[in-house]
Amino acid sequence: MAVETQGARSREGDWHRNSRARQARERIIKFLLTACAYVSIFTTIGIVVVLFEETLRFFLDVSIVEFLTTTRWAPQQGDFGVLPLVYGTLMATFIAIAVALPVGLLTAIYLSEYAPKRLRRWLKPALEILAGVPTVVYGYFALTFITPFFRDSVLPGIGSFNALAAGLIMGVMIIPTVASVSEDAIYAVPRSLREGAYALGATKRETATKIVVPAALSGIVAAVILGISRAIGETMIVTIAMGSQPNFGGSPTESMQAMTAYIVQVVGGETPRGSITFESIFAVGSALFLMTLALNLASYWFVRRFREIY
Amino acid sequence: MAQGTQVKKRGEGTEGPQFKANMSARYGLDRVFSVVVTLAALVGIVVLAVLLVDVTRDGSSMLSANFLTSFPSQIFPENGGIYPALVGSLWLLGLTFLISVPLGLGAAVYLEEYAEDTRINRLIEINISNLAGVPSIIYGLLGLGIFVQLLAPITGGGSVLSGALTLSLLILPVIIVATREALRAIPRAIREGGYALGATKWEVIRSHLLPMALPGALTGMILALSRAIGEAAPLLVVGVALYQTYATSGPLDGYMALPTQIYDWISRPQQIFQDSAAAGIVVVMVVLLVANSVAILLRNRFQRSS
Amino acid sequence: METKKTREGRGVSEVSDERREVRPETGGAAPGGGSTLGMKIENLAAFYGSFRAVTDISMDIQANKVTALIGPSGCGKSTFIRCLNRMHEVIPGARAEGKVALGEQDIYAKNSDPVVIRRRVGMVFQKPNPFSKSIYDNVAWGAKINGFRGNVDELVERSLRQAALWDEVKDRLKESGFGLSGGQQQRLCIARTLAVEPEVILMDEPASALDPVSTQKIEDTMSELKKSYTVVIVTHNMQQAARISDYTGFFYIENMGDPGHLWEFDETEKIFSNPDRKETEDYVTGRFG
């Protein structure tokens, strides 16, 4: 069979364009992809429904006012004042931010203004490894290294479980979050602002701290809020290193229980499902969810505001 | 408007220059500051190094081939190992990969290539960025309510499948964000070139966009999956076994996992269990460091070529 | 067209009489005319990495005059002007060779501090780049970091007046500098530069991103400024160069990829009416570029 060469174009019969089948396939694929995107919506709906359904049941037995305002948490005795757990969570979070805010921000300044390009390329991933360390590992480190270190050096009276070691290590855990989001913001500050400062006779430090950082402020605020949100939701470090004793008003060297640690304690125990105690983890979970939700939305808002400026 | 007479001259009415720029003090502060920021950048690295050394030292007595292939033991803890936890974590990893990657790719492709800027799509977007910040233990409560209880007939209750489904939802936002960024980095011209040849949207996506986005997306996926391997809190809520006498062999079996095994050991007071925990941590850290290094290498290569 | 406009230009007719004549229109307003310095550039070359962007530049910049730099895009005017206050080296990999004297001092000498030089040789950029601070702080900041000992309120008002912005912002000094219009932002940047009391002001196409009305205001400001400052301005707008400058330098690249040269430098009227070189004439009459 010789190839016919009478025309440069092939004959119409050589093509098998089944446009109707193709269109149908496109529609099916679009449907499947849309479904994938909607999984995230269903996840959120699922979280809200599961949490609030059980929480509602809990509040049929325990008054919401008691839950939110009293300061004794002892489920066995029927005392459900959530404040001691909130106190534990906030104490650890506060210590964590006291570490992560200065260290993270200074790290961000170093990465974007000072680090040689090649070093920056390796330092950022190294920080990501820090963020990827499982939190049980941090918990182990806080419990078996940091706490004994404090006991043997400056704080002989520190408890085996305490908020200080847990908070400090949690701070290390969120350094990468604060540093990375702040660095993105600082890096995004236009070159022209730095040049404007240099042209007035500013030094590198003056430019970085007085022009660049203020210009990136809303991005940095977003980073810190995100860090707070991470710390509040962190579970294993506080479970392992801070203890399981609700302790309202305790000092950082004492054992106290965080909200997340309480949930772990209950699901790991023999508490029967459907009991008030079991339902209480959903109430605590709801409080946790709402706290982090508010922080995440605030962070999102700050990031958007930052993007609008530049 | 300022005319000649209104313009005051420099130094008018004052003697000599009014600037006393104390350069040595300013440069002194500059030097101090550059040292401080450098040290700050090293804090995390130093803690990581101390942690690794400490854990390796604590775990060295337990680390052996036997540790990897044995069941944990209450009676003879010195002969115990992490075999079922290791198998369980590999099951979790495999199932989570199979569930989360297609879902994440699909959602990212939809949001980046199909979605027009309607209200519902904006809602999906805000929703995803918010889900990324939901504490992992909350995902545990979600998994408990949906996969363990509601869907028990399908998932077998507290099975490794329930665990993997929970972890998949947990890491989905990370995968979606990473894939979207990779897709966004592809120039418009590639898409238009495809359409100009008469390709449909999906044909362009499948044969051009996905292959090009893959290296970047892969980095995000590896980081997300390594996060999944390290998660303990949600698994504790959805019923991971802290002890079981068999290794997981099917998706509906019960399971143990590395981080929860480590947690269980840490919470026992005897020194031998603490050492076991440290040995377990070494195993997890080796797995994660390898995974992370691969991800970083991939990204650096990808960034260089693009 | 161009030359006709030039002849009408006020600035040019002043200089045309006699180069040595000192500021006829300012009369005695400037206290002892020696308060500002000129600059002397010898064999300057600027590099980005190994790429030579401009080369062999020698010129004298007269004190209390406006010197305009014109020429096609990409021929090194901006690079050159950034060498005059050591801003060029802020870009990673960039460096300059040669001698730039501010008065008697070589700013590239070993003992010259770039931070000090930049205070003495101010710069206004192409795009307005106000800091994310209040209008007041935008102006006051540079003076504060440079150890200003006088009354800051007075300094801010004086600088804003000189930049012809005071009347527009005097009631909202505490508001953000971002809230101003583009032209106001640029005048704010000029005020900010004036507040550190430099000897020389460099302007890199200061009006190119602005509308005609704002451009007019900036030009008005400039003719005021030269009473007290030495001004160097890069511009793409030849009418602007003709209107406001006393001297004009024409930058040119012969072949693609070559470094830029200072092709011709003379009094503005000469450059626009009867330049020595053909390329200059082609450019100022709009035949290319």
| Tens digit of each residue's pLDDT (9 = 90 or more) over B17-37 | 677 778 889 999 999 999 999
Report the chain B residue with the minimal C-alpha distance to residue C114. B23
Residues B96 and B191 in one domain: yes
Domain count, chain A: 2
Contact check, Cβ <8 Å, A41/B296? no
- Specify the pLDDT at position A120: 86
Same domain, B73 and B186: yes
- Rounded Cα distance between C153 and C138, Å, is 12
User: How large is the average pLDDT for residues A35-47?
Assistant: 95
Beta carbons of B21 and A129 less than 8 Å apart? no
Can you tell me the distance from the alpha carbon of B295 to that of B280, in angstroms, rounded to the nearest whole number?
A: 23
For A190, what's the count of Cα atoms within 13 Å in the CB-facing half-sphere? 13
Same domain, A102 and A85: yes
Instruction: Note whether A136 and A240 are within 8 A (CB).
Output: yes
State which residues form the domain around A32.
Answer: 2-61
Give the closest of A25, A234, A296 to B130, CB-based: A296
Q: Compute CA distances A92 → A162, A166, C285, whole Å.
A: 9, 7, 73
**Which chain B residues contact residue C35 at CB under 8 A?**
9-11
Contacts of B26 in chain C (CB under 8 A): 115, 145
Q: What is the mean predicted confidence (pLDDT) over A122-149? A: 92
Counted domains in chain B: 2
Residue B8's pLDDT band, with cuts at 50, 70 and 90, is very low
Per DSSP, C148 falls in state B
Same domain, yes or no, for B44 and B174?
no
The CA-atom distances, in angstroms, between A244 and each of A253, A262, B13, C62 are 14, 7, 72, 78
The residue-averaged pLDDT of B78-90 equals 92
Q: Flag if B11 and C196 touch (Cβ within 8 Å).
A: no
Cα–Cα dist C66/C230, whole Å: 6
Residues B52, B166: one domain? no
At C169 the pLDDT is: 94
Give me the mean pLDDT over the B282-301 stretch. 84
Q: Tell me, yes or no, whether B30 and B179 share the same domain.
A: no
pLDDT by residue, tens only, chain C of 289 residues: 333 433 333 333 333 333 333 333 333 333 334 457 889 999 999 999 999 999 999 999 999 999 999 998 888 999 999 999 999 998 888 999 999 999 889 999 998 999 999 999 999 999 999 998 999 999 999 999 998 888 999 999 999 999 989 999 999 999 999 889 999 999 999 999 999 999 999 999 998 888 888 888 888 888 888 888 999 999 988 888 998 999 999 999 988 888 999 999 999 999 999 999 999 999 998 876 5
Chain C residue at shortest CA distance from B10: C197
Chain C residues within an 8 Å CB radius of A217: 132
Considering the domain architecture, whether residues A154 and A74 belong to the same structural domain is answered as yes
State which residues form the domain around B144. Answer: 65-305
Quick: pLDDT tens for B246-278. Answer: 999 999 999 999 999 999 999 998 999 999 999
B215 shares a domain with B154: yes
Backbone angles phi, psi at B22, to 5 degrees: -80, 85
> Same domain, yes or no, for A83 and A226?
yes
Question: Do B108 and B92 belong to one domain?
Answer: yes
Q: Which of B43, B59, B75 is the last residue of a domain?
A: B59
B242 with B175, same domain: the answer is yes
- Which residues, in sequence order, are bridge partners of residue B248? none
- Asked if B263 lies within 8 A of A37 by C-beta distance, the reply is no
**Is there a contact between C125 and C204 (Cβ–Cβ < 8 Å)?**
yes
* Interchain proximity A200–C142, CB inside 8 Å: yes
- Whether residue C35 and residue B9 make contact (CB cut-off 8 A), yes or no, is yes
B12/C148 touch (CB, cutoff 8 Å), yes or no? no
CATH of the domain at A111: 1.10.3720.10
- The residues that bridge with C261 in the sheet, in sequence order, are C252
pLDDT at B306 exceeding the cut of 80: no
CA A232 remoteness from chain centre: 8
Residue pairs between chains B and C whose CB atoms are closer than 8 Å: 65
- d(CA B176, CA B184) in angstroms, rounded, equals 12
Which of A18, A44, A61 is at the close of a domain?
Answer: A61
Interchain CB contact of A276 with C (< 8 Å)? no
From the list C90, C119, C132, the residue facing A200 with the nearest CB is: C119
Q: Which residues of A touch B141 (CB under 8 A)?
A: 47, 50-51, 263, 281-282, 285
Judgement on whether residues A92 and A25 belong to the same structural domain of the protein? no
Residues A162 and A30 in one domain: no
Residues A107 and A164 in one domain: yes
Claim to verify: residue B49 and residue B69 sit in the same structural domain: no
Closest Cα in chain A, distance from residue C106 (Å): 17
Same domain, A21 and A78: no
Is residue A168 located within the same domain as residue A277?
yes
Q: Are residues B239 and B137 in the same domain?
A: yes
pLDDT of residue C25: 35
Residues A16 and A148 in one domain: no
CA distance B3 to chain C (A): 7
Give the pLDDT score at C289. Answer: 52
Whether residue A210 sits in one domain with residue A298:
yes
Higher pLDDT, A76 or B168: B168
Residues B129 and B94 in one domain: yes
Q: Which chains sit next to A, with 3 or more Cβ pairs under 8 A?
A: B, C
Domain boundary among the residues A61, A95, A111 is at A61
Most confident of A144-153, B11-20, B287-296: A144-153
Lowest mean pLDDT, pick from A2-16, A234-248, B225-239, C30-44: A2-16
Q: Which of B56, B58, B137, B276 to mutate to test the interface with A (most CBs of A within 10 A)?
A: B137
Mean pLDDT estimate for chain A: 92
Minimal C-alpha gap between A296 and chain C (Å): 25
* B49 and B165 assigned to the same domain: no
What is the chain A residue with the closest CA to C202? A199
Task: For residues A152 and A45, state if they share a domain.
Answer: no
Q: Kindly identify which residue of chain A lies nearest to residue C125, measuring between CA atoms.
A: A196
Of B24, B34, B37, which to mutate for an interface test with A (greatest number of A Cβ within 10 Å)? B37
* Three-state DSSP class for residue C138: helix
Q: What confidence score (pLDDT) does residue C158 get?
A: 94
Place of tokens 């506080």: A238
Distance CA C136, CA C129 (A): 15
Which tens digits make up the pLDDT trace of A223-235? 999 999 999 999 9
Are residue A29 and residue A126 in the same domain, yes or no? no
pTM (global) more than 0.90: no
Q: What is the DSSP letter of B268?
A: S
Summarised one tens digit per residue, pLDDT across range A237-259 is: 999 999 999 999 999 999 999 99
Euclidean distance between the first and the last CA atom of chain B, given in angstroms as a whole number: 53
Note whether B21 contacts A201, CB cutoff 8 Å: yes
**Mode of pairing for the β-strands spanning C39-48 and C51-61:** antiparallel
Interchain pair B223, A134: CB under 8 A:
no
Each residue's pLDDT tens digit, A246-300: 999 999 999 999 999 999 999 988 888 889 999 999 999 999 999 999 999 999 8
d(CA C23, nearest CA chain B) in Å: 13
Boundary-marking domain end, from A61, A91, A106: A61
Q: Measured between CB atoms, does B9 come within 8 Å of chain C?
A: yes
Which residues, listed in sequence order, are joined to residue C44 by a DSSP beta bridge? C57
Q: What percent of chain B has pLDDT over 70?
A: 93
* Domain end position, chosen among B36, B59, B82: B59
Q: From chain A, pick out residues whose CB is under 8 angstroms from the CB of B144.
A: 50, 267
